[in-house]
Amino acid sequence: MKRLTAMLLALILPLLAVASEEEPKEGETPKVAYVDLVPSLVGNYGSGPRLKYYKADISLRVTGPEAQEKVTRHEPLIRNQLVMLFSQQADETLSSSDSKETLRQEALKQVQQVLHSEEGLPLVDDLLFNNLIIQP
């Protein structure tokens, strides 16, 4: 009987330690996580007789596992919003560093609006372009 109890404790104690590590302690800030939108966003943008393409590798910075899970759940809606935003761009809005930063900020704003309408909170702290390739 003692042996069985010792074996059960040996199995349960590591699980309790892992569970307590995942929850932030009082006064401790929650851990930052990044949600990668995989696969890359690929599409065409602009108007005119010639097709212009973009490829964007995007990561969303969230705080805490709950926010990460909610953002992952709404990824199809987020991807749709970003594809619509990119398809409305013109050469001028994708050509310089400043214009790409403006696009990044607008993308973050739209992602936060989508999540706010779905979850009641913006959930995403920042949006990062890991890679942004434009073929005008």
pLDDT digits (tens, 9 = 90+) for 97-108: 899 999 999 999
* 85 compared with 12, residue with greater pLDDT: 85
pTM of the prediction?
0.76
Identify the pLDDT of residue 93.
81
62: amino acid identity, one letter: V
Categorize the per-residue pLDDT at 120 as very low, low, confident or very high, splitting at 50, 70 and 90. very high
pLDDT digits (tens, 9 = 90+) for 20-56: 445 556 667 779 999 999 999 999 998 888 889 999 9
18/97 Cα distance (integer angstroms): 43
CB 33, CB 68: distance < 8 Å: yes
Strand-pairing partners, residue 128, are 59
48-77: pLDDT as tens digits: 888 899 999 999 999 999 999 999 999 999
Pick the CATH number of 28-135 from 3.30.200.20, 3.30.300.210, 3.30.420.10, 3.30.479.30: 3.30.479.30
* Cα 17 to Cα 7, 14, 32, 33, 131, distances in angstroms: 16, 5, 20, 21, 38
